Structure 1
Amino acid sequence: MKKNLYDHLQDILECISKIEEYTTGLSEQDFASNSEKQGAVFMRLAIIGESVKQLPIDFRHHHPDIAW
Structure 2
Amino acid sequence: MTRTYADYLHDILEMSIKAQQFVAGVDFVSFEENEEKLFAVIRTLEVIGEAVKFIPQTERNRYPQTGTWHAIQKLRKKDA
TM-score by length of 2: 0.81
Cα RMSD of the aligned pairs, angstroms, is: 0.8
Q: Counterpart in 2 of 1:19? A: 19
1:1-68 equivalent positions in 2, closer than 5 A: 1-67=1-67, 68=69
TM-score by length of 1: 0.94
Return 5+ residue gaps in structure 2 as ranges.
70-80
Write out the 4+ residue segments of structure 1 that deviate beyond 2 Å after TM superposition: none
Instruction: Provide the C-alpha distance between the structure 2 equivalents of 1:64 and 1:47, rounded to a whole number of angstroms.
Output: 21
- Which structure has more RCO (C-alpha within 8 Å, separation ≥ 6)? 1
Percent of residue pairs bearing the same amino acid type: 37
> What is the total number of aligned residue pairs between the two structures?
68
1:9 partner amino acid: L
